[in-house]
Chain A
């Protein structure tokens, strides 16, 4: 059940004016000290108050003997202290001074057995009573790139650009994989929230929060196990009706269910039901972490299509065949380009070119390398009334100018999604990728990824259309 105070607290905790860090020491590899270091390295603009009973200074910051001694309002506490201390003293102090949220890093709670479970029960009881939101326990931390808040002991690769994909994950490691993969693809992560044991913060709370978070355009969720499957699905549907949610489920096989339990204290559950419930509740599901990044990238960058019919334009046949295979395997409707459009394209490449154009894929062969021809052909396909989206495949050759700028210009003139697949090394394609993604074209190296991206854009559009239809009924 949705509790309104939680949404308010999540917001306050993710946009703190001040943070206190518990569990620091003068040992360099200490968990709390890492947190202070990361906060400073990432440039948190608010006040940082390290707390330790005896230390005076840490990394150039004044250290306070206790939370109470700080004497200023604290929005967020990041605690590296163990389960016993967290339960017996930290939570009480936080309640006394009116803290909004706690990032609770330590393990040793319900995932380890009965003693831990008792700690966690007590923690939840005091937190709920005082309306304090708890991230964790048993997590890597929380990030809000908007606020430059990196409340974590983990060191991230620099260069997370401003972006609109937000991640909520039961596991910190998987959340890292997702974050790194997106950054590598030039996609910025907006918010990054680890849930761990989910003491009083559930997936459903985060789904409701993200539904109204204007800075989040796409949500990625990694789930291992949940107790209230229905609550999860209901909240997921609420979010999904406003913006795309892509779910990745771990502990899919039966033997992994118990492993999930010792990880975050919840069994994996029946995956087959989870998978089918995603269809029922119209929630996108990714098959693996790589696909998740692919799909989130597409949904974050490309506009929503008006329909679902995809055309593939190329000047090299093989990749287009793999793209079409993937579209078909994912049940994505294929476009059939009209005779008239094919005649237009034929004129552009020259009536004497010895090729026969098929309606999908449209293979321009050698003439596709020319920057004065290729983008015009993409435009002709986009203008076809039977086409809702285009996958445009081209190769980079060092003696030919690429079509990246022309395609970026074209994207600014059209509302239909363009998805580009570049036949080149990651290094060679990097500049083209950046140029086109800024213009709203998601760019991929593998043709299957481009096709998967188009399939999910189409599927999300279908889900939205069905939802809109139901509303009218």
Chain B
């Protein structure tokens, strides 16, 4: 059974962050390395596998605003710290089957956003722009009606005002534009293949070296 079918069967409209990234990863979109832990034992295994430093987030179908609920802990430096964080998040979660998502701490100063909306007049539309807090503050984003090809995606990328952030600046490498274009094309294709998907919000992609990596993602069904 596909992830979407299972979510439907459970009567949910919102995929968990973990489920969303499973789907994205499947489409060749780079996603952060992560493991889901339901207990201390799985937590320890995950810490060993992912390695320090870590990010830990509460992850359950009932939870949509993790940050506001204080369920996101960044830059965890030691095993002891990680185990304490696990306990704290598990206790605070108002969920039937609480779990903690244990992620690699992706380092990078540049954050991007990729999204999909279904506009009342234009239908499925892909959005791209500056991510993280800048999405809200600068709203430096551009749109394309989906689906579109790679050349169109490359054009789109050059249309944001802050496009220079994608170049080799201040000792950082230039972002892999071809990969970025692939990501945008893939999100556009998903809109066509899954008419069920109403909204995708991948924010942020953190640019690590040349690679934009999805560290948070939201998928909402109709």
Distance, CA A273 to CA B117, complexed state (A): 10
Q: Assess whether A279 is in contact with B122, with CB atoms less than 8 Å apart.
A: no
Query: Per a CB cutoff under 8 Å, which of A274, A277, A279 touches B159?
Result: A279
Q: Assess whether B143 is in contact with A229, with CB atoms less than 8 Å apart.
A: no
Tell me, yes or no, whether A270 is within 8 Å of chain B by CB: yes
Q: Name the prevailing secondary structure of the A interface residues.
A: helix
Q: Separation in Å of the B98 CB from the closest CB of chain A?
A: 38
Query: Per a CB cutoff under 8 Å, which of B123, B143, B156 touches A272?
Result: B143
Query: Per a CB cutoff under 8 Å, which of A230, A233, A273 touches B143?
Result: A273
Against B, the Cβ 8 Å flags (1 = close, 0 = not) of A439-468 are 000000000000000000000000000000
- Within A144-185, which residues are at the interface with B (CB < 8 Å)? none
Selecting from B105-113, B144-152, B161-169, the interface stretch reads B144-152
Tell me, yes or no, whether A227 is within 8 Å of chain B by CB: yes
A residues in contact with B125, CB < 8 Å: 273
Tell me, yes or no, whether B142 is within 8 Å of chain A by CB: yes
A residues in contact with B152, CB < 8 Å: 280
A226 and chain B: residue at smallest CB distance: B121
Tell me, yes or no, whether A212 is within 8 Å of chain B by CB: no
Q: Assess whether A277 is in contact with B120, with CB atoms less than 8 Å apart.
A: no
Q: Assess whether A229 is in contact with B159, with CB atoms less than 8 Å apart.
A: no
Q: Separation in Å of the B99 CB from the closest CB of chain A?
A: 37
Q: Assess whether A230 is in contact with B159, with CB atoms less than 8 Å apart.
A: no
Q: Separation in Å of the A184 CB from the closest CB of chain B?
A: 34
Q: Assess whether B121 is in contact with A280, with CB atoms less than 8 Å apart.
A: no
Q: Assess whether A229 is in contact with B142, with CB atoms less than 8 Å apart.
A: no
How many chain A residues sit at the interface, stated as a range, is: 10 to 19
Q: Which of B120, B121, B156 has the most CB of A within 10 A?
A: B121
Distance, CA A301 to CA B125, complexed state (A): 37
Q: Assess whether B122 is in contact with A270, with CB atoms less than 8 Å apart.
A: yes
B152 and chain A: residue at smallest CB distance: A280
Distance, CA A226 to CA B119, complexed state (A): 12
B residues in contact with A270, CB < 8 Å: 119, 121-122
Against A, the Cβ 8 Å flags (1 = close, 0 = not) of B18-31 are 00000000000000
Distance, CA A228 to CA B141, complexed state (A): 23
A227 and chain B: residue at smallest CB distance: B121
Tell me, yes or no, whether A276 is within 8 Å of chain B by CB: yes
B residues in contact with A267, CB < 8 Å: 120
- Within A250-281, which residues are at the interface with B (CB < 8 Å)? 267, 269-270, 272-274, 276-277, 279-280
A473 and chain B: residue at smallest CB distance: B151
Interface size on B, residues (CB 8 A): 16
With A230-B145, A233-B145 as known contacts, state yes or no: A276 contacts B120, CB within 8 Å. Answer: no
Q: Which of B141, B145, B156 has the most CB of A within 10 A?
A: B145
Distance, CA A270 to CA B142, complexed state (A): 12
Distance, CA A132 to CA B144, complexed state (A): 36
B residues in contact with A227, CB < 8 Å: 121
Q: Assess whether A273 is in contact with B119, with CB atoms less than 8 Å apart.
A: yes
Q: Assess whether B121 is in contact with A276, with CB atoms less than 8 Å apart.
A: no
B residues in contact with A233, CB < 8 Å: 122, 145
Distance, CA A274 to CA B120, complexed state (A): 12
With A276-B159, A279-B159 as known contacts, state yes or no: A229 contacts B144, CB within 8 Å. Answer: no
Distance, CA A274 to CA B156, complexed state (A): 14
- Within A227-252, which residues are at the interface with B (CB < 8 Å)? 227-230, 233
Q: Assess whether B122 is in contact with A277, with CB atoms less than 8 Å apart.
A: yes
B residues in contact with A276, CB < 8 Å: 142-144, 156, 159
Q: Assess whether A230 is in contact with B142, with CB atoms less than 8 Å apart.
A: no
Distance, CA A88 to CA B155, complexed state (A): 52
B residues in contact with A269, CB < 8 Å: 119-122
Q: Assess whether B148 is in contact with A229, with CB atoms less than 8 Å apart.
A: no
Q: Separation in Å of the A196 CB from the closest CB of chain B?
A: 19
Distance, CA A279 to CA B143, complexed state (A): 10
Query: Per a CB cutoff under 8 Å, which of B122, B155, B156 touches A229?
Result: B122
A residues in contact with B159, CB < 8 Å: 276, 279
Q: Separation in Å of the B41 CB from the closest CB of chain A?
A: 48
- Within B114-150, which residues are at the interface with A (CB < 8 Å)? 119-123, 125, 141-145, 148
Can you list the 8 inter-chain pairs with the closest CB atoms, starting with the nearest? A229-B122, A229-B121, A276-B143, A269-B121, A273-B143, A273-B122, A276-B142, A277-B145
Beyond A227-B121, A276-B159, 7 additional pairs, beta carbon < 8 A: A229-B119, A229-B121, A273-B125, A277-B145, A280-B145, A280-B148, A280-B155
Using a CB–CB cutoff of 8 Å, the interface residues on chain B facing chain A are 119-123, 125, 141-145, 148, 152, 155-156, 159
Name 5 interchain pairs, CB-CB below 8 A, sorted by A: A227-B121, A229-B119, A273-B119, A277-B145, A280-B144
